[in-house]
Structures are given as C-alpha cells and as structure tokens.
Amino acid sequence: MAIIPLDAPAIPQVPFVTTFVTAHPIITSVVAILLLLYIYCYPYTEYTLAYRNVPGPPSSSVLFGNLPDIVHDQTVPAPMQWFRQYGTTIRYSYFLGAHRFTTTDARAVEFIAQHTDLFVRPPQLSRVLGWAFGHGILTVEGEAHKRQRRVLNPAFGAKAVRGMMPIFWECAYALSQKLDGFLDSSNDVVTCPSPPVPVDRVPGARKIDVLKYLGQATLDINGRAGFDYEFGSLEERPNALAESFNSIWTEMKVTIVAILIDCYAEKLPLREIRLIEHYRGKTRAIADDIVQRKKRDLQAEFTEKMDRKTKMGDDLVTLLLRANMVPDLPASQKLSDEEVRDQITNFILAGNETSATALAWGLMRLAQNLRVQHKLREELMAVTEDHLDYDELMALPYLDKVTREILRLDPPVPGAPRMAAADVVVPLATPIRGRNGKMMDHVKLRKGDQLVASMIEVNRSKELWGEDADEFKPERYDKEHPTTLKVPGVWGNVMTFMGGPHNCLGYRFALAMIKSILFVLIRNFEFEELPSKPVFLYKIGVVLRPYVEGEESAGLQMPLLVRPVQQAE
Ligand code: HEM
C-alpha cells in the first residue's frame, strides 16, 4: 500500500458531478435533455405565454396538465366548473405544459367565430382528419373552404331540406315501428348493452338503449337524404360503407397523442395506420361509385331520359353536383370529383353521431321532465296530419322551444378547437381579473396559441341565461332573454351550431331531422327514467357522449324506460 507523506501536495478533488459525467456520458445526456425539455415545457412556456395573466385551474398532472380532468367521465364537465370558479375567460394546461385559452365572453366568442382568417382549426387535426376521411369541407380553410362552401350552400338551404322531408318521415316511422316491435315482442330481444336489473323490469314497458336506435335512424336518413344510399341500418343489414367508416374511427385512437404533440400521425409505422389506409381505400371506392352514379343520373336527366316528376327530391350530393355544373361558375371555383367524393365521408362525420346524440340527450331530458313531455305530446297529438311539410313542422311552437332547449343544454359538439394564425388581441365584453389582480378587457394571443371556442359553456353561462341556466326549461323562450341576443350562434341564440363562416352547414337538415323524429316518437311512446335511476355521465370528445356511471365498460348508451303512449295516458 502506498503511503502518502503528510506534507505531500493534496491531490485535487474532482467534483462528483464531473466524475459522474465522465463515467456515464449517456445517462448524463439523457438527464440533460429531460431537464432542458422540462424547463422548456414548464417554466419557459409558462413565462413566455402571452396570456399568462388569465386565471384558471392549477394543473392536475405534470405530463397531461388538466387533460385528465377534461376527458374523465363526469356529470358536470370540468371546464364548466372552472368557468364558474375562475370567471368567463380562463386558461388551463394541456399535454407537456402546453396551454389552452377558452372563453364564454360573448364578444370574444363572436370575434373568434367571425375571424376565420385569424383563428383556424388546428392544422395538425385537419391534416389527420383529411388524411383519414378526405379533404372535404370539415378540414379545409381559407380559399379552399370558401370555394367548397359556395358550391355546398344551395344543397343545405331550406328549399333543399323541404324536398327531403319524405325521407325524414319514412325513417322516423321506421324507427317507431322498430321500437314498437321491441315492446310487442314476447322474445327477449337485446335492446340494451346491460340487461335490466329486477327493479327496471316494468310490466308493459321496456328498457331500451335509445342512443343505439336513434343512431341507426339518423344514419339511414343521412345516407338517403345525403347521397341517395341505403345503409339499411335500422334493419341491421351489414353495410360495407358503415363498417369501413366505423373501423377508421376506431383505429383513429392511435393518432390522438400524435395530434397533441403535432407529429405526423399518418406517417407512423403502426399497424393501426395501415388499417386506416386500408379502410379509407374501401370507403373511397364506395363513395367514388356513388358520385359516378349520381353524375350519370344527372346526365340522364339533362338528356331527358329520366322523368323528374317521379323523383322524391334531390339528395345533398346531387344538389352539390348540380351547383357545381352551373355554367357561369368559373372552372377555378368548381369542385373536383375527389372533392365531391370527400364530402360524403364528411357528411357522415358531421351529421350522424351529432344528431343521434342530441336526440338521445333530448329524450333523457324529456324522461326526467314528464310535465314538459306531456305538454309536448298534447301539442303534437293535436296535429291531424302524420307527415307535415317542412314549414308546418318548423311552425309548431312548443316543439321548437323543446328542441332549442335540448340543443342548448347538451350541445352535441361541446367546443370547437382553434389555433391563432397570427398574433391577435381578443376583445372582452366583460373585463376579468388577472392573476396579478389587475382588470383585463382584452387578451393577447400569439401565433400558434391553441384555444377552444366553447359551445356548452356559452349555452349554460349563468351570466347570459340566468341562475337557472342548468335547468331544462323550454318555457324560458316564452320571452327572449336580452343578454342571450348577444350570443353569436347561427341559430336560436345558442352556440350549438357555431357561428361565423364555419357555422354548421347542416343545421336546417339537423333541425328537420330532430323535429320529425321527436314528432313521431313523442306521439307514439312515453319515455321515463329507469326506476334504478342510472346516472348519466358526459364523456367530452368531439361529441358529448353519454355513459352510465358504473357501466362505462358497456360503452356509450342512453337506456330509458319506453312504453306505448296509449297505455300511459
Ligand atoms: C345536432 C346536430 C349537429 C350539430 C350540433 C352540429 C354542430 C356543428 C358545429 C358546432 C360545427 C362547427 C365545427 C367547427 O367549426 O369546428 C359544424 C360544422 C359542420 N356541420 Fe354540423 N352539426 C350537426 C348536424 C349536422 C348535419 C346533419 C350535417 C350534414 C348533413 C352537418 C354538416 C356540417 C358541416 C358540413 C360542417 C362544416 C361547416 C364548415 O366548416 O363550413 N352538421 N356542425
């Protein structure tokens, strides 16, 4: 053993960190990268956030921010609780320290809805949706959007929807017949994901998952009125278009994180991505066939081979092909065959689940509010016709109030995500108190900042609708609430169908469909809550989906007790 003399010069001490770095360069690099990432994602992002002074909830997860609060199934959506706690304009944190700005301030919402040049749909979301479902109107912006919208507008006008009423009635009555069959049948057809518990077995009535059958009816309507196509969904016929469309939707789960971190989900070497491409090919082939058939029909009509009088009315695709063929439309403004084809998947995407979900929440509200249901039935029973025309249906006053209240309280699309396309100042009608205690009458956003134009929170804002904003009260429309006149929605002073240039193109179609189905169902059936009183949870996603507490694994459902109307009254 070497002996070091006491007076020998001291060996310089190498600090532990230096020794560790030299000995473990890889671990050190990883730790350094993670540290830098952490500083970038959290303190740096927070410090440089243009709207950091806006109040909001503390983050509940380091990695996911407040995202778990939002996607967690709940009876009151988390953002609604935050608005009530922190005021009309808030921010919350998101994945990897990113933030979202959101507001129920009427002036700010209008500003966001109107300025589609300043607030675009998040490009990463549009890109992935466009890749999977086609670059139809739902995924394009700017000039491409204006061009598509110009050609599509006539197909969605009141005149066009008037011509589709026979289809709405036919499908609404087919749905009614199907429910009737369940009530009549002595055999135990499965009408719900979970069988009724003993207390829910009520003589003369049946536990039925209304969401499932409403979804079948709206899909059949969308197919027939949208592009003259038979899904045969109410008859439970296997259908290639519905199957490939649903398969794309199912596999899309894999893209969620990629969309959040803005990486090219569609380029990932994953089995799910290949599957989406496979089903997309099938969907496109069917949609292509539909477009070519429609073009041939139109050609035949032009050459007078087809008798126009025998036709029920034009479907959306025929109407848009017609608008696309107008001679004075410049070639640069016309839609290509691929663009027409992509509208088909966009119509299914935009119009089916939204309408079925609205109706399901609506029936649940009517089941919980029997007085309203009876009053509505009284109005509808007094009508002598079974098949009203569009104007007669729209003119039924209480049906209109009930529909408006259904769509206000549970808007199927709870919020529209947007990204600031430039640095922008958002004006506020109601100043808010910032985190530094000072009042703010505007909020600055930077190019690239993410925000959500909220529907449900504006529709339920107590500042706009009063203290009873959370209650189902169609009578609130007996007189107009002056504050709600400021709501910039395209219909009914609610945000449900959005406002501005991106407002829902199909809102008249949706209203006619919803009202005709309510008309038929309420005249024929009594809807009640199940005696076991299941608690319905909102699952916030693109659509505000219903789940039953404790039965989440059974998936989406809206079980109600249904009985024929004659027995109940
Ligand atoms: C209750 C049912 C419906 C609701 C609540 C609803 C709601 C909405 C909302 C909120 C938007 C704006 C989304 C955004 O900008 O991010 C939208 C857009 C759209 N909706 Fe609907 N919708 C419904 C039914 C329908 C139906 C039945 C159709 C067609 C058959 C349809 C077609 C469209 C289209 C094409 C757009 C895109 C408009 C554009 O960007 O110019 N919707 N819808």
Domain ranges of the chain: 134-414+455-568
| Residue having the nearest C-alpha atom to atom 27 of ligand 1 | 351
| Residue having the nearest C-alpha atom to atom 30 of ligand 1 | 351
The model's pTM is 0.91
ipTM beyond 0.90? yes
Q: How far is the CA of 557 from the centre of ligand 1 (A)?
A: 22
Q: pLDDT grade, residue 38 (50/70/90)?
A: confident
Q: pLDDT grade, residue 7 (50/70/90)?
A: low
pLDDT in tens, 321-369: 988 888 888 988 999 999 999 999 999 999 999 999 999 999 999 999 9
Q: pLDDT grade, residue 526 (50/70/90)?
A: very high
State how far the Cα of 86 lies from the Cα of 466, in Å rounded to an integer. 18
**For residue 5, pLDDT beyond 60:** no
pLDDT at position 187: 62
The average pLDDT across 474-487 equals 89
Residue 439's SS3 state is: strand
Q: Which atom of ligand 1 is nearest to the CA of 149?
A: 41
Overall residue count recorded for the chain in this entry: 569
**For residue 312, pLDDT beyond 70:** no
**For residue 8, pLDDT beyond 80:** no
Which is more confident, 325 or 159? Answer: 159
The average pLDDT across 490-497 equals 94
Q: Is 504 one of the annotated binding-site residues?
A: yes
What are residue 205's phi and psi, to 5 degrees?
-135, 170
What are residue 33's phi and psi, to 5 degrees?
-65, -45
Residue type, 140: V
Host H or E run for residue 528 = strand 525-528
State how far the Cα of 486 lies from the Cα of 116, in Å rounded to an integer. 19
**For residue 310, pLDDT beyond 80:** no
Q: Which residues pair with 89 in a beta bridge?
A: 103
Residue 450's SS3 state is: strand
Determine whether the shortest distance from the Cβ of 406 to ligand 1 is under 6 A. no
Q: Which atom of ligand 1 is nearest to the CA of 148?
A: 41
Q: pLDDT grade, residue 569 (50/70/90)?
A: very low
| Residue having the nearest C-alpha atom to atom 39 of ligand 1 | 502
pLDDT at position 307: 53
Determine whether the shortest distance from the Cβ of 133 to ligand 1 is under 6 A. no
| Residue having the nearest C-alpha atom to atom 41 of ligand 1 | 502
Which is more confident, 362 or 80? Answer: 362
Give the chain's mean pLDDT: 90
Q: How far is the CA of 528 from the centre of ligand 1 (A)?
A: 30
**For residue 43, pLDDT beyond 90:** no
Q: Which atom of ligand 1 is nearest to the CA of 316?
A: 30
Q: Give the whole-number percent of the chain exceeding pLDDT 70.
A: 95
Determine whether the shortest distance from the Cβ of 358 to ligand 1 is under 6 A. yes
Q: How far is the CA of 227 from the centre of ligand 1 (A)?
A: 17
- Token pair of 216, please? 């079948």
CA atoms within 13 A on the CB side of 250: 10
**For residue 57, pLDDT beyond 70:** yes
Q: Which atom of ligand 1 is nearest to the CA of 498?
A: 10
Q: How far is the CA of 11 from the centre of ligand 1 (A)?
A: 75
State how far the Cα of 518 lies from the Cα of 170, in Å rounded to an integer. 13
CATH architecture of the domain formed by 134-414+455-568: Orthogonal Bundle (1.10)
Q: Give the whole-number percent of the chain exceeding pLDDT 90.
A: 67
- Taking the CA atoms of 431, 434, 438 and 443 in sequence, report the sign of the dihedral they define: negative
Determine whether the shortest distance from the Cβ of 413 to ligand 1 is under 6 A. yes
Determine whether the shortest distance from the Cβ of 113 to ligand 1 is under 6 A. no
**DSSP secondary structure letter of residue 233:** T
